[in-house]
Every structure is written in C-alpha cells, then in structure tokens.
Amino acid sequence: MRVLVINTTPFTYQGIACVIRNYCFRINSPGLELQYAVFDLHPELEKELKQSGLVYYRLASRRADSRIYFKQLKLLLKNGHFDCVHIHGNSAMMLPELVLAKNCGIEKRIVHCHNTTCNNPLLNSLLLPLFYRLSTIRLACSKEAGNWLYKGRSYTVLNNAIDTEVFRFDELKRNRNRKKLGLENQFVIGHIGRINEQKNHEYLVRVFKEFHDHMPDSKLICIGEGALRPDLEQLISDLKLEEHVMLLGEHKNVENLLNAMDCFVFPSKWEGLGMVLLEAQAGGLPCIASDAVPGEADMGLTRYLPLGNMASWCRAIEDIKNREQNRCKTSDLCIRTLKHKSYDLNENIKQLVQIYFDISHAGT
C-alpha cells in the first residue's frame, strides 16, 4: 500500500510536522510505503529525510505560492500511483487537498485534525459539507479536536504520542544545558511553540514581567519561530526584558532544554491537545496551562488557569518555585501515566499502521 502523507502547514520542528516526524519516520512495515508532500521545509529536517532514505516531494509554499503548490500537488497525485492520502491539518481547509485526491482517483482519503478551532471559522463552516463528503476516514489528536471538526460524525482518536524515554529527566543534561545557557542560579520559566496568535506569547511575556519584578533571579526561555517574532522582540524591548528573555528559535532536541527549565508555562488561546505538555511532564516538569488546552493533556503535573488575571498566573509560578521538587521521581510517575493513557509512541505507531492496513483491505 502506498500512502502520500500531506502536511498543510510548514514542515519544521514545530506543530503538526513534529507529530508526522514522530510517527511516520519510524514506521517500517512490509507492504506499506509512505511518501511525503511538504513545503517550507526546515533545512535540518531535509537532512534528516535524506539520511533516512525517505521519499519526499518539496512543493512550493501553500501560503506564499498557493497556485504553484496546488499545481505541483495535482501532478504528484495524478502520477504517484498512491492508494491513499493522509492529510494533516487544523480545519476544513484541508478540503483543496481532498478535492485534488478525489479528482485524481484516490479512493482512500484520511483527514487528521490537530486543533480545536481555526483562524477563519466562517470559511471553515462553509467548507464543511463537502469536506465531510470527500473524507473517507477521520482522525483527531484528541476528543476535543474530533468533536470540534467532525461534529457528531464518526472519527478515531490517534493520540499525539511521544517517545517517553527521550524526555525522561536527566540531571546531567540539566546541569550541562543550564551552564551552557548561563542559567545557573536562575529560576527558569520555559515555553515551546510557534510564535503566533494561538500560542499567546504576548500574554506569556507580560506574565513573566510581573513575576520577574518580584523575583529578579528568573529567566524566560522560548523555543520556536514564527511570523510574530518581530512583534515579540519589540514587546520584550519595551518592557526592558532583553537580558531576561531568551528567544532560542527552533531546536531539534527540545528535551535538553526541557531538562534545563523549572516551570513550563503554556497560555495558548486554543489547542488540539498540546503535545509539548506531554513532553514537559515526561521530564517531571511542573506545567501551567490555559483552560483552553484540553484536559486530556494533563498527566498529573499541569495546573489549568483562565486567561486574563495575570496575578493568578504569577502566584501559580511562585508556588512552583517554592515547592520542593524531585524531578526524577515525578518524571518516572508521569511516564507511567503516559503509557497507561496510551500516549507512548511505540503503541500508537502500531495503531496507525493497523489503520492503514484496515483501509487497504476494506472492500477486498
């Protein structure tokens, strides 16, 4: 069975591409061939793809050059002899890929939802009837994401699982990375995510400002890139936090930076699940998240707060700072919980492979 995996967002170390990388790059099952259609490909990820011997097609940007992107994708779907497409996205805006796949004679069409809202809800609503009609299999990263997009229609939850052992707390890595970044003797608040409206970096920095004014031995480190980085840099400058906030860009091995943190703050305006919360908790890291993040992401170390009252966020961070922590013990407990709740990557890979093979045998 030949499957074309299509990501409708940039292919970087963030977001949906991270899920695809975790799952599909590790699949090695006889009779199953995965190929990848990607755009805005991160250079380091391209090296990974080449070194792994994976077949990928680098297309024009879906956002900047949409006409060329869809022309290239149509040609690929027409000539690629694919049995199935697996389209990853956040809304019914996956519809153009569905239409192309249908018109090119591909009968098995998987849509995979990774969010609980979108930037254009009106357009999403208008596209839904045809989106439902053309999708043959529906997947979601969480119940909240599935209920939001599929609205009572059948779907399967495929957890945004992680390789739990990669994120297990390591004291040596913690000390080495804190020293490397000049974070010794500092209380380190961390965040991972694309710098965009969804991740709510402005709120994060303003909360940190309020906390830092009372706790000057603190730093904020942010991992990720995005279109709003210039605005964020300006805000950091306006608040005179240049020496205390570190924008580290994208990182391949985020587990090293999670080890270096003392608290993870995640004030998203919306989330499909919040996979970085799973990664943080696997490392025994206490987390504070907005109540817009699905409760499914809590493995016992996440406190949920509404957005708005920054003082409550500061108090929650201070509580973590004053709490005695045993990261090794809490990491071990959370990894057990992750496995019990089916967020271990190895088991979920088996589920995805079974989905592919069930599709291939349907109607035979």
Instruction: Please check whether residue 92 is in contact with residue 128, taking contact to mean a CB–CB distance below 8 angstroms.
Output: yes
pLDDT (tens digit per residue) in 236-274 = 999 999 999 999 998 888 999 999 999 999 999 999 888
Question: pLDDT per residue over 158-172, tens digit each?
Answer: 988 899 999 999 999
CB atoms within 10 A of CB 67: 8
Q: Which residues pair with 304 in a beta bridge?
A: 289
Domains and CATH numbers, the chain: 2-161+344-361 (3.40.50.2000), 164-340 (3.40.50.2000)
Residue type, 308: G
Query: What amino acid is encoded at 123 in this protein?
Result: L
Query: Distance of CA 257 to CAs 116, 180, 198, Å?
Result: 27, 11, 22
Query: What does the pLDDT average to over 352-360?
Result: 90
Quote the pTM value: 0.86
Q: What is the pLDDT of residues 182-220, one digit of tens each?
A: 999 999 999 999 999 999 999 999 999 999 999 999 999
Q: In the prediction, which pLDDT does 25 show?
A: 77
User: Is the pLDDT score of 124 beyond 50?
Assistant: yes
Torsion (CA) 182, 185, 187, 191 in degrees, nearest 10:
20
Residue pair 211/314 in contact (Cβ under 8 Å)? The answer is yes
Measured between its terminal Cα atoms, the distance across the chain in Å is: 13
53: alpha, beta or left? (left if phi > 0; alpha if psi -120 to 50): left
Give the whole-angstrom CA distance, residue 32 versus residue 67: 31
> For the residues 136-163, what does the mean pLDDT come to?
94
Lookup: tokens for 141: 């990263």
- Going along the chain, which residue ranges are E strands? 2-7, 33-38, 55-58, 84-89, 108-113, 137-140, 156-157, 187-192, 218-223, 245-247, 263-266, 287-290, 302-305
List of E strands, 117-165: 137-140, 156-157
Sheet with 137-140: strands ordered across: 55-58, 33-38, 2-7, 84-89, 108-113, 137-140, 156-157
Rounded Cα distance, 293 and 288, in Å: 10
Look at residue 364 in the predicted model and tell me its pLDDT: 46
Q: Which residues pair with 34 in a beta bridge?
A: 3
Any idea what DSSP says for residue 14? S
Distance between CA atoms of residues 65 and 48, nearest Å: 25
